[in-house]
Amino acid sequence: MAFDLFFNSSLILLAIGMLFKIVQWFSYKIGIQAQNSTFAERLVSSLKAMPGIVFSPKIGIVLKTFILDVLFQHKILKQDVLRWVMHMLIFWGFILLFFMHALETVVSDVIFTSYYSTVNPYMFLRDFFGFMVLVGIAIAICRRFFMKIHRLSTNKMDIYAIFIVAVIILSGIFLEGAKIISFTDFRDMEQDFSALEYKEDILALEAYWVKYYGLVSPNISGDISQEILAAGEEINEESCVDCHTRPQSAFAGYAVSKIMKPIGGLLDRIGIVTFLYYFHILACFIGLALLPFTKMLHIITTPISLITGAIMQRETSNPLNIATRQLIELDACVHCNTCSKTCSAGPACDVKNNMTILPSERMLSLRQYFKTKDLGSSQFMAIQEGIYLCSNCDRCTVVCPAGINLKELWYDVREEFIRSGTLITPLVLSPFSYNRTYNRDDFGAVLSDMPARHAKGIIASRYKKKSHSTDVLSLTNSNEFKEEQSHQDGTFSYCFSCENCTNVCPVVMNYEKPEQVLDLLPHQMMRSIGLGLENLALGSNMLWDCVTCYQCQEHCPQNVKITDIFYELKNKVSKDCFYSQKES
């Protein structure tokens, strides 16, 4: 009765929480694309898009993403092997334990005709899966509290996620250990299943279980004769062996039972099995009921984020679906700090003492903002500063194991701030200091909904960007080079020192201390030219050690023609040397 009450209550809370989340995903708005949309329009738009995915080649992408990134978490493996091992242990251990043990009546009983949780291999597998989760949790605790991982921070939700999973697994193991030594449980099983009539037979079976099953009995003490053990073994073969394997196979629970054995009689008298049973069940139901309101929701949202991110493109997807996806992405963030570890604007966090400069910390604040639309002025300014200092390097999007398109999210959040009329002009400009390029109707709609002072600022920034892209210095007098710079954004003046070019450069990777050998690194070369220090770039060893592999140019998020600029620099030096020799 109590079990049903707990279970039904947790399911009701889970359903209410998930319904609440779905309403949020289809109601809240980011950017300008979905500002005038309704819940019904967003929901219908998403439902209409599903058949186009299922009955198209995109279904192949969905299956590939589900297998590689959801089931085997390939993105995490490429970044951090230890973290991948941790995730695999927790994810697969918990999932297998959930289906085999928690849902045994609807899964294991159906698949395996001779299934009993107390016989092998199922008893061993249950402990093995639980042990996998515990090892994963141990790694998670070491990473978060003992290993000094760059920019990794821990908040309350991180602690809760570790705590609730650990409590569920540990309480289950202790419950198993308590059942092994429990005389009360043994007596109940004997009465229900063996139906032994003679006291001598009961004592023989009891003695056999004390010897080989770890039972703590008030009736058996001292050495047990071989005759009694032989009689007990015969009864055990007839009545018990079909549904009870020796508990040594349950290595985790059996180890705990050995620890509890010295006080096993006392624990049995106070009803430890009943207490641990309800404690374990309550922990499971609390975890289930609170799932929509905690970090554990990423079990659902992260696969959605990975799959939708793989098949949706901003240029071709419905803007309403983009907005819905971004709200789901906010809940898909697991606060793993992978994005913060690679953020090129990260050093500003220490200088400005503003944690929201880091992408993972900004996600937490944005999640609160879109729920309440109300943040304190200091926190609001901190979020804006984090967005404006972003160098647009797109590293966060590339490395995010949850598949979140963070670059698009920062753009749309900035638009949300513009519309709110609380835009604060930053002291440090970045790509986000300029508005995204809209079509004329969209841009007019934004301006019409804005206070006059903000509309004026946006127009000014657009003209500033236009003049910035056309009024650039050329390295040579080549008309072709000038024409290319006036029509493309691939010039050194668009470099924001994200260091992508330096990170992928094979020449840089060839040296332990490349800055000492090469003088200037690729991103420093671009910044030197942008600052008018052309001679500094011309005198760098990097210019002549470059192997022209075009890796830097291919990975530049600003489309800066780095290798081509290196060629122009080399040509300039060659021409200067030629004319110098001719004059001499």
Token pair of 152 as six digits: 């990794």
Q: CA torsion 185→97→336→293, rounded to 10°?
A: -70
* pLDDT given at position 392: 72
* pLDDT given at position 11: 87
* pLDDT given at position 513: 83
Token pair of 144 as six digits: 């978060």
* pLDDT given at position 136: 96
* pLDDT given at position 464: 33
The whole-angstrom separation of Cα 424 and Cα 70 is 39
Answer with the residue of higher pLDDT: 186 or 372.
186
Answer with the residue of higher pLDDT: 123 or 197.
123
Closest CA to 162 of 177, 147, 141, 181: 141
Over residues 7-23, the mean pLDDT reads 90
Domains and CATH numbers, the chain: 179-250 (no CATH), 332-470 (no CATH), 479-583 (1.10.1060.10)
User: 72 and 80 in contact (C-beta within 8 Å)?
Assistant: no
Q: 58 falls in which pLDDT band (50, 70, 90)?
A: confident
Residue 473 has pLDDT above 50, yes or no: no
* pLDDT given at position 385: 79
Interhelix angle 122-145/81-97, nearest 10 degrees: 140
Q: 457 falls in which pLDDT band (50, 70, 90)?
A: very low
* pLDDT given at position 421: 61
pLDDT tens across 498-514, in order? Answer: 778 888 888 988 888 88
Q: 475 falls in which pLDDT band (50, 70, 90)?
A: very low
Q: 105 falls in which pLDDT band (50, 70, 90)?
A: confident
Q: 435 falls in which pLDDT band (50, 70, 90)?
A: very low
Residue 63 has pLDDT above 90, yes or no: yes
- The string of DSSP codes covering 214-258 is ----SS--S---HHHHHHHHHHHHHHTTTT---GGGSHHHHHHHH
Most confident of 103-112, 119-128, 438-447: 119-128
- Amino acid 332 reads A
User: 126 and 175 in contact (C-beta within 8 Å)?
Assistant: no
* pLDDT given at position 12: 92
Residue 410 has pLDDT above 80, yes or no: yes
The whole-angstrom separation of Cα 257 and Cα 251 is 10
* pLDDT given at position 168: 95
Answer with the residue of higher pLDDT: 273 or 105.
273
Over residues 394-401, the mean pLDDT reads 87
* pLDDT given at position 581: 60
User: 186 and 206 in contact (C-beta within 8 Å)?
Assistant: yes
Closest CA to 525 of 477, 485, 570, 488: 570
Answer with the residue of higher pLDDT: 354 or 176.
176
* pLDDT given at position 422: 58
pLDDT tens across 525-560, in order? Answer: 888 887 777 778 888 889 889 988 888 888 888 788
Over residues 128-151, the mean pLDDT reads 91
- Amino acid 225 reads S
* pLDDT given at position 373: 66
Residue 370 has pLDDT above 60, yes or no: yes
Residue 440 has pLDDT above 50, yes or no: no
Over residues 154-159, the mean pLDDT reads 89
* pLDDT given at position 480: 45
Residue 134 has pLDDT above 90, yes or no: yes
The whole-angstrom separation of Cα 466 and Cα 470 is 7
Count of H helices and E strands in the chain?
A: 33, 0
User: 520 and 536 in contact (C-beta within 8 Å)?
Assistant: yes
Q: Kindly report the average pLDDT of the chain as a whole number.
A: 81
Sign of CA dihedral 393, 395, 397, 398: positive
The whole-angstrom separation of Cα 143 and Cα 128 is 23
The lowest-confidence range among 31-35, 177-181, 417-421, 567-571 is: 417-421
Q: Give Cα 569 distance to the centre of its chain.
A: 43
Instruction: Kindly state the percentage of the chain with pLDDT values over 90.
Output: 33
Residue 437 has pLDDT above 90, yes or no: no
Residue 393 has pLDDT above 50, yes or no: yes
The model's pTM is 0.74
pLDDT tens across 215-255, in order? Answer: 999 988 778 888 899 998 888 888 888 888 899 999 999 99
Residue 150 has pLDDT above 50, yes or no: yes
Q: 427 falls in which pLDDT band (50, 70, 90)?
A: very low
Token pair of 325 as six digits: 């996806």
* Residue 59 parent element (H or E): helix 58-65
Question: Radius of gyration of the chain from Cα atoms?
Answer: 32
* pLDDT given at position 126: 93
* pLDDT given at position 241: 82
Residue 445 has pLDDT above 50, yes or no: no
Most confident of 45-59, 115-129, 401-415, 436-450: 115-129
Q: 347 falls in which pLDDT band (50, 70, 90)?
A: confident
Residue 281 has pLDDT above 50, yes or no: yes
Over residues 289-312, the mean pLDDT reads 92
Residue 478 has pLDDT above 50, yes or no: no
* pLDDT given at position 56: 84
* pLDDT given at position 523: 87
* pLDDT given at position 258: 94
* pLDDT given at position 325: 92
